[in-house]
């Protein structure tokens, strides 16, 4: 570092207290070096006696100093200037030195850290390979016809070498490449995160290499060494949102720069353009990366198009230098919420059955979305009761209000027949508990009566062959009607088979149906069948979504591996697997997409909170992830490959199934 002779700290660093003192004392003449202001020949002023008035005036002028020496005696006045005293030298210099050492040490540490960080990202060999490739490519681009081909060949070879080195350095092998799973399929952090992090490293490394390369190019450019710096300075002045938007526009191909836009980018000054301010700066950035997968979706109907046209007209004037084409042109102007709305409708039409199956099946207790207005669309058809078998959804869902096929009313009552004065329709944001409390208040029902009615209200769910307390199953959704039946003194939900536990028990006995375990315990008859998974009885309608139950896997009606084995005595694993997948309705094309994901990642789908599931169902999955297939596959693996799980957890799904097919004697 270049030393400043006038810098007092540098002076302190260079001289010891003894030397300084000697210098001061030894120089009769000498004006000691003025450490504060660097004036070497300040005149010595002889102290004089002052009147009290003069002292007061001086004190006022000097901010508290009442003489030519500071209060702590560290500074004194010589001539017109202040300087450090012996005492000051003893106290201040060590402090200053210490500070300087600290500063130097921290600077060194930063340099080391920076250097090491650079080393980590930029391997020298890799950097040279990159430079070689870039150099050759630049030459090839500028070459004339006679050497054009040979230069391009060399550039391509250099590129290949660089890529090979990249693979070696990163330790990635072809075999070890992980399969990409979208985030929502691995909510606990799995392959998706892994892949994203790797991509981020790729981008960061590319950027570092780029900058290193530019640094070298800048050094070579003798005539205009600062030109890169100026270009980057221009670029850095572009607002962040615009820079993001530029990235979005280019990465998605949403717009292609022509004319002025290209030139503006070339001079690193895109942010100055009216285009950037008015269009790119906010609109695209705010929208694009949230809904990219909607680009090609045919969700935009007439109403949306009408609005798009209107916005297009408003924006037309500033679009002179941007060319946009096809569907992207329309969607570029579509507001995000509009796209989401139509995505929602499309998904509702196409996938509602699967989603309902997933909800009901995966939760094992059924679902409604009382407090989830965003998902109210599910309620439009959802009336089949909470615990509906996933199998039934795959084959169509009973329409709202209809009875479940083949299940007669058990307690002989349906809520529809009861008087409206005892009913309440659940409002948006409301729930079953509030509705029943509302009815009780309207009727003037006492608390003990209400408690009895609440306690005695049960529902029979034929698909689960079980009886559940009203609080255990979320049967209702906004718009559903809750009714109090004064005869049986219970609450009912319109469309559901309900009664007291005793009513339900008697009806089942009468009809010769299996008696659920709970009813058997309550009324003493030996159960002929064990009902659905037992769920703890709640005394208030707590939503059961806080944590997804990891329930026992379903018992598929499709043949099991063991059953299929009879038909496949040989080792035809491929055929065996394809038959098995077909039997559980897993589409072969979709299986091709996911077969290389790990078994352990597939099993994660069943774990996690309700919100994990919620994410499965959000807009982002529409049309892209077949949750139902993955869920079926997970169930299959959990149930039928149970004995092999320790061996296959780290395998891909496909490998696991093949192992299972070849070792059928070991599987369930």
In the complex, least distance from residue 485 CB atom to another protein, rounded to whole angstroms: 48
In the complex, least distance from residue 245 CB atom to another protein, rounded to whole angstroms: 8
Backbone angles phi, psi at 484, to 5 degrees: -100, 125
DSSP β-ladder status, 458-461 and 466-469: antiparallel
Query: Distance between CA atoms of 327 and 166, rounded to whole angstroms?
Result: 37
In the complex, least distance from residue 174 CB atom to another protein, rounded to whole angstroms: 9
Distance of alpha carbon 238 from the chain centroid = 27
Across 498-515, b (16+ Cβ under 10 Å) vs e yields: bbbbebbbbbbeeeebeb
> Encoding tokens for residue 99?
């500070």
In the complex, least distance from residue 352 CB atom to another protein, rounded to whole angstroms: 22
Alpha helices in 62-190 (DSSP H): 86-121, 124-142, 145-170
Q: Which is nearer to another protein, 50 or 163 (CB)?
A: 163
In the complex, least distance from residue 243 CB atom to another protein, rounded to whole angstroms: 5
DSSP-assigned states of every residue in 266-307: HTT-GGGSHHIIIIIIIIIHHHGGGSGGGTT-----HHHHHH
Q: Which is nearer to another protein, 38 or 268 (CB)?
A: 268
In the complex, least distance from residue 186 CB atom to another protein, rounded to whole angstroms: 11
In the complex, least distance from residue 378 CB atom to another protein, rounded to whole angstroms: 22
The DSSP symbol for 455 reads: H
> Element (H or E) spanning 481, and its range?
strand 481-485
> Element (H or E) spanning 401, and its range?
none
In the complex, least distance from residue 14 CB atom to another protein, rounded to whole angstroms: 39
CB 437 within 8 A of CB 532: no
Q: Which is nearer to another protein, 259 or 401 (CB)?
A: 259
Q: Which is nearer to another protein, 298 or 396 (CB)?
A: 298
Q: Which is nearer to another protein, 216 or 455 (CB)?
A: 216
Contacts 24+ apart (CB under 8 A), 193-199: none
> Encoding tokens for residue 337?
């919420």
Query: Distance between CA atoms of 241 and 126, rounded to whole angstroms?
Result: 33
Q: Which is nearer to another protein, 24 or 329 (CB)?
A: 329
In the complex, least distance from residue 286 CB atom to another protein, rounded to whole angstroms: 10
Q: Which is nearer to another protein, 27 or 204 (CB)?
A: 204
In the complex, least distance from residue 317 CB atom to another protein, rounded to whole angstroms: 17
In the complex, least distance from residue 466 CB atom to another protein, rounded to whole angstroms: 37
> Element (H or E) spanning 70, and its range?
none
Q: Which residues contact 41 (CB under 8 A, 6 or more apart)?
A: 31
Q: Which residues contact 650 (CB under 8 A, 6 or more apart)?
A: 598, 599, 600
Q: Which is nearer to another protein, 71 or 211 (CB)?
A: 211
Backbone angles phi, psi at 438, to 5 degrees: -65, -45
Q: Which is nearer to another protein, 118 or 412 (CB)?
A: 118
Q: Rounding to the nearest 10 degrees, give the CA dihedral for residues 627, 632, 637, 640.
A: 170
In the complex, least distance from residue 605 CB atom to another protein, rounded to whole angstroms: 16
Q: Which residues contact 166 (CB under 8 A, 6 or more apart)?
A: 126
Q: Which is nearer to another protein, 142 or 526 (CB)?
A: 142
Q: Which is nearer to another protein, 207 or 345 (CB)?
A: 207
Q: Which is nearer to another protein, 183 or 341 (CB)?
A: 183
Give the CA distances from residue 231 to residues 199, 228, 264, 321, 587, in Å, rounded to whole numbers and listed in that order. 27, 5, 11, 22, 53
């Amino acid at each position: 570092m270049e030393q400043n002779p006038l810098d007092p700290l540098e002076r302190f660093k260079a001289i010891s207290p003894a030397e300084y003192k000697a210098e001061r004392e030894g120089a009769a003449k000498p004006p000691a070096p003025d450490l504060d202001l660097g004036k070497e020949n300040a005149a010595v002023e002889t102290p004089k006696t002052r009147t009290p008035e003069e002292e007061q005036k001086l004190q006022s002028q000097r901010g508290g100093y009442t003489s030519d020496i500071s209060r702590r005696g560290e500074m004194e006045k010589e001539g017109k200037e202040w300087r450090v005293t012996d005492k000051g030298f003893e106290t201040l210099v060590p402090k200053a030195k210490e500070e300087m050492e600290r500063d130097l040490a921290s600077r060194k540490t930063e340099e080391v850290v920076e250097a090491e960080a650079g080393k980590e990202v930029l391997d020298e060999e890799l950097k040279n390979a990159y430079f070689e490739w870039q150099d050759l490519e630049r030459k090839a681009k500028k070459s004339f016809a006679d050497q054009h081909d040979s230069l391009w060949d060399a550039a391509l070879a250099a590129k290949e070498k660089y890529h090979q080195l990249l693979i070696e350095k990163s330790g990635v092998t072809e075999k070890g490449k992980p399969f990409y799973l979208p985030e929502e399929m691995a909510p606990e952090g799995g392959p998706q995160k892994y892949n994203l992090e790797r991509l981020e490293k790729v981008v960061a490394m590319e950027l570092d290499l780029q900058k290193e390369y530019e640094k070298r190019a800048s050094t070579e450019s003798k005539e205009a060494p600062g030109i890169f710096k100026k270009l980057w300075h221009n670029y850095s002045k572009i607002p962040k949102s615009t820079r993001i938007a530029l990235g979005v526009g280019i990465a998605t191909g949403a717009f292609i720069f022509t004319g002025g836009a290209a030139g503006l980018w070339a001079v690193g000054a895109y942010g100055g353009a009216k285009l950037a301010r008015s269009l790119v700066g906010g609109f695209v950035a705010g929208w694009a990366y949230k809904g990219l997968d909607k680009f090609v979706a045919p969700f935009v109907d007439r109403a949306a198009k009408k609005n798009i046209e209107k916005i297009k007209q408003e924006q037309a004037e500033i679009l002179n230098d941007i060319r946009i084409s096809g569907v992207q042109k329309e969607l570029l102007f579509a507001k995000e919420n509009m796209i989401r709305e139509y995505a929602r409708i499309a998904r509702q039409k196409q996938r509602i059955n699967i989603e309902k199956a997933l909800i009901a099946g995966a939760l094992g207790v059924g679902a409604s979305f009382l407090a989830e207005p965003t998902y109210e669309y599910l309620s439009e058809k959802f009336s089949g009761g909470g615990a509906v078998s996933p199998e039934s959804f795959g084959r169509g869902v009973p329409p709202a209000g209809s009875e479940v096929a083949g299940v007669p009313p058990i307690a002989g009552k349906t809520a529809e027949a009861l008087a409206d004065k005892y009913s309440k329709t659940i409002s948006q944001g409301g729930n079953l508990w509030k509705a029943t409390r509302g009815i009780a208040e309207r009727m003037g029902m006492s608390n003990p009566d209400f408690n009895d009615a609440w306690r005695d209200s049960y529902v029979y769910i034929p698909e689960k062959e079980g009886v559940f307390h009203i609080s255990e199953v979320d049967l209702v959704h906004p718009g559903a009607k809750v009714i109090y039946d004064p005869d049986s003194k219970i609450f009912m939900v319109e469309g559901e088979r309900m009664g007291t536990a005793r009513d339900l028990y008697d009806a089942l006995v009468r009809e010769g149906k299996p008696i659920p375990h709970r009813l058997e315990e309550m009324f003493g008859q030996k159960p002929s069948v064990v009902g659905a998974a037992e769920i703890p009885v709640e005394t208030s309608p707590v939503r059961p979504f806080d944590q997804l139950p990891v329930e026992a896997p379903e018992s598929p009606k499709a043949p099991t591996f063991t059953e299929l084995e009879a038909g496949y005595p040989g080792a035809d694993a491929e055929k065996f697997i394809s038959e098995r997948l077909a039997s559980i309705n897993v589409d072969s094309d979709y299986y091709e997409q996911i077969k290389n994901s790990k078994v352990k990642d597939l099993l994660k789908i069943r774990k996690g909170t309700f919100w994990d599931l919620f994410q499965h169902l959000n807009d982002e999955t529409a049309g892209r992830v077949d949750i139902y297939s993955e869920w079926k596959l997970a169930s299959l693996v959990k149930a039928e490959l149970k004995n092999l799980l320790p061996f296959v957890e780290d395998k891909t799904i496909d490998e696991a199934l093949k192992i299972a097919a070849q070792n059928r004697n070991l599987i369930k």
